[in-house]
C-alpha cells in the first residue's frame, strides 16, 4: 500500500491507457462481431439492447466514483468509503435491469440476454473503482494492463464457447466468470499497493459521499439514456433485428469511445492539478488534449471512408456492407462525440460536479425530441440523425461551459 505517487509524464500515461483501451475496444468490438457471425442479427440486437439498458443504470449507481476520488482531497473520504458505496450500488443495478427488462415487455429470451449482459458488466464496475487507486497516483500502467486483460479474455472465452456449440447465454455466463477472475486476481492486489481495500460501511459518511457524487452519477446516467435514445425508439418502432443493423452501423463508436476514454483517463488527473495551479496552464494543456482526441477520431472517420464497406462485410457479413454510408456518418459523429466527452471529463476535473446534471438533462431532452420525431419517419437513418444532433448539442454546451469555468478561474487568481 501507499506506493510512491510521483506522477509519470503525460505521454507515458497516455501510451499505457491507449494500449489498454485499444485492446479493451478490440474485445468490445469482437463481442459485436461474434454475436453477429456466430449468433445472428437478432442475437446482436439482443446483446446491444442489453448494453443499452444496463449501461445507464450502472452509470447511475456507480456515481462516477472513480473520477470523484481522483480529483477530491483525502481529508473527508477514504478509499474504503468509495469502495463500500460501489459494492452497495452495483448489485442494485442487476435488480433494476431485471425490472426494466420485464416491464419493457421483451420476450423471455431477450430478457435473459439483457440480464446476462448486465452480469458481464458487474465485475467491470468493481474493477473501475479499484482502478481509482493507481489512477490517482498517475500510475496508469496497471489500469492499461487490466483493461487489456479484460477485453481480450472476454472475447476469447465467449468466442470459444460459441464455437464449441454453447448458447449465447451460456457463453456470456463464462465471460462473466472470466471478468470476475480479472477483478479478483489482478485489480484487487494492484489496488492494495496504493490504498487500503477494506470497505468502510459507515452510513453517515456514505450518505455524504453519495450527496457529493450524485450530480455526476445522475449526469452520467442521463448521458447513457441520451446516447441510447435512438436505440430505444428504433427497437420499439422496428424490431430487435433493426437494432442489430443500427448497432453494426454505429459500432465504430465503440472504438472511438474507448480511445477517448484512454485520453481522458490520462488527462483528468493532470487537468485537475493544472486547474488548481494556473488557469493559463490548464487552458494550454486542454487545447493539446482536445487536438489529440480530434486527430484520433479523424483517423477513425478516414478508416470508415476508405475501408468501411470491407470492415462491415468481414465483421458482420455481406448484407451489412450496404450500411457503408451510415458507417461514414457514424465516423463523423465520433469526432463531435469524442471532443464533447473530453470536455465533460474536463468539467469533472474542475470539481464542478453539479453543472454536469443540467447539461446532461438538456441533452436528454434534445435526444428524446429528435428520436421521437426522426426515427419513426426515417428509421435507421433517423436514428443516426438523432445521434449526430445530440452530440453536436453536447459539444456546443460543454465548450461554452469550459470557457466560462476558465474565465472565472482566471479572475479568482
pLDDT, one tens digit per residue, over 223-267 is 788 888 998 899 888 778 888 889 889 988 877 776 777 777 778
Closest C-alpha among 308, 213, 300 to residue 256: 300
SS3 helix, strand, coil % of the chain, rounded to 5?
85, 0, 15
Output the CA torsion sign for 211, 405, 137, 186.
Answer: positive
Distance between CA 158 and CA 28 in Å, rounded?
11
Residue pair 228/55 in contact (Cβ under 8 Å)? The answer is yes
C-alpha distances in Å from residue 61, one per residue of 86, 111, 122, 189, 284: 8, 21, 12, 24, 34
Among 93, 17, 44, 22, which residue's Cα sits nearest to residue 317?
A: 44
Give me 248's grid cell.
453494426
pLDDT for 372-409, tens place per residue? 999 999 999 999 999 999 999 999 999 999 999 888 88
Q: Are 335 and 298 in contact (CB under 8 A)?
A: yes
pLDDT digits (tens, 9 = 90+) for 26-77: 788 888 888 888 887 788 888 888 888 888 888 778 887 887 887 776 667 8
pLDDT above 60 (res 3) = no
Amino acid at each position: 500500500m501507499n506506493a510512491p505517487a510521483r506522477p509519470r509524464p503525460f505521454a507515458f500515461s497516455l501510451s499505457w491507457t491507449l494500449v489498454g483501451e485499444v485492446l479493451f475496444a478490440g474485445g468490445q468490438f469482437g463481442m459485436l462481431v461474434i454475436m453477429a457471425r456466430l449468433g445472428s442479427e437478432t442475437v446482436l440486437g439482443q446483446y446491444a439492447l442489453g448494453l443499452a439498458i444496463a449501461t445507464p443504470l450502472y452509470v447511475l449507481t456507480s456515481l462516477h466514483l472513480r473520477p470523484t476520488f481522483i480529483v477530491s482531497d483525502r481529508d473527508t473520504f477514504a478509499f474504503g468509503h468509495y469502495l463500500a458505496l460501489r459494492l452497495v450500488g452495483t448489485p442494485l443495478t442487476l435488480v433494476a435491469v431485471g425490472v426494466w427488462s420485464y416491464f419493457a415487455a421483451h420476450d423471455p429470451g431477450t430478457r435473459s440476454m439483457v440480464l446476462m449482459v448486465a452480469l458481464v458488466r458487474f465485475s467491470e464496475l468493481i474493477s473501475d473503482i479499484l482502478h481509482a487507486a493507481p489512477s490517482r497516483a498517475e500510475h496508469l500502467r496497471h489500469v492499461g494492463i487490466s483493461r487489456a486483460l479484460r477485453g481480450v479474455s472476454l472475447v476469447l472465452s465467449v468466442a470459444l464457447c460459441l464455437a464449441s456449440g454453447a448458447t449465447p447465454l451460456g457463453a456470456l455466463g463464462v465471460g462473466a466468470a472470466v471478468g470476475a477472475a480479472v477483478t479478483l486476481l489482478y485489480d484487487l492486489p494492484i489496488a492494495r499497493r496504493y490504498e487500503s481495500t477494506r470497505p468502510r460501511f459507515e452510513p453517515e459518511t456514505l450518505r455524504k459521499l453519495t450527496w457529493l457524487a450524485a450530480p455526476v452519477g445522475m449526469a452520467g446516467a442521463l448521458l447513457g439514456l441520451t446516447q441510447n435514445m435512438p436505440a430505444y425508439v428504433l427497437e420499439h418502432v422496428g424490431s430487435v433485428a433493426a437494432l442489430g443493423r443500427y448497432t453494426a452501423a454505429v459500432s465504430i463508436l465503440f472504438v472511438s469511445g474507448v480511445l477517448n476514454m484512454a485520453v481522458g483517463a490520462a488527462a483528468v488527473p493532470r487537468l485537475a492539478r493544472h486547474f488548481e495551479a494556473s488557469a493559463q496552464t490548464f487552458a494550454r494543456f486542454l487545447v493539446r488534449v482536445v487536438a489529440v482526441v480530434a486527430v484520433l477520431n479523424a483517423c477513425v472517420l478516414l478508416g470508415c471512408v476508405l475501408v468501411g464497406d470491407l470492415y462491415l462485410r468481414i465483421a458482420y457479413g455481406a448484407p451489412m456492407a450496404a450500411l457503408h454510408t451510415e458507417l461514414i456518418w457514424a465516423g463523423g459523429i465520433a469526432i463531435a462525440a469524442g471532443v464533447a466527452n473530453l470536455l465533460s471529463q474536463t468539467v469533472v476535473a474542475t470539481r464542478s460536479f453539479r453543472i454536469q446534471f443540467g447539461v446532461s438533462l438538456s441533452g436528454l431532452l434534445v435526444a428524446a425530441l429528435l428520436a421521437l420525431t426522426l426515427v419513426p419517419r426515417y428509421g435507421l437513418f433517423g436514428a443516426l440523425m438523432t445521434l449526430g444532433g445530440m452530440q453536436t448539442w453536447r459539444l456546443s454546451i460543454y465548450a461554452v461551459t469550459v470557457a466560462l469555468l476558465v474565465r472565472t478561474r482566471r479572475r479568482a487568481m
